[in-house]
Structure 1
Amino acid sequence: MVKNTGRPGYLQIADDLREQIRSGSLAPGIALPSTAQLAERYDASLSVVKMAVGILRNEGLVIGQQGKGVFVRESDIPAGDEVSELRAAVRELSERLARVEAALSQQQK
Structure 2
Amino acid sequence: MVQNTGRPGYLQIADELRGQIRSGALPPGQALPSIAQLCQRYEVSASVVKSAISVLRTEGFVIGQQGKGVFVRDPVEVETKPATGEGQIMEQLAQIREALGDLGKRLADLEAAVFEEPKRSGRRDT
TM bin, normalised by shorter chain, reads: 0.7 to 0.9
Matched, 1:41 2:35: no
Q: Identify which of structures 1 and 2 has the higher relative contact order when contacts are C-alpha pairs closer than 8 Å and 6+ apart.
A: 1
Matches within 5 A, 1:13-28: 13-28=13-28
What's the Cα RMSD here? 2.0
Mapped partners of 2:11, 2:77: distance in 1: 25
> Per the alignment, in what secondary structure is the counterpart of residue 77 of structure 1?
helix
Mapped partners of 2:86, 2:71: distance in 1: 24
Which moves more between the two structures, 70-79 or 42-51?
A: 70-79
Q: Give the match for residue 106 of structure 1.
A: none
1:1-25 deviations in Å (ceiling 9; x for gaps)? 1001111000000000000000000
Matches within 5 A, 1:1-109: 1-77=1-77, 80=80, 83-84=81-82, 88=83, 90-92=84-86
Mapped partners of 1:12, 1:61: distance in 2: 15
Count of residues in correspondence between the two structures: 90
Mapped partners of 1:12, 1:95: distance in 2: 18
Task: Note the residue ranges of structure 2 that are not aligned, 5 or more in a row.
Answer: 91-126
Larger Rg: 2
Task: Note the residue ranges of structure 1 that are not aligned, 5 or more in a row.
Answer: 97-109
CA contact (8 A) 2:61 2:78 kept: no
TM-score by length of 1: 0.75
**Percent identical:** 63
Mapped partners of 2:36, 2:53: distance in 1: 12
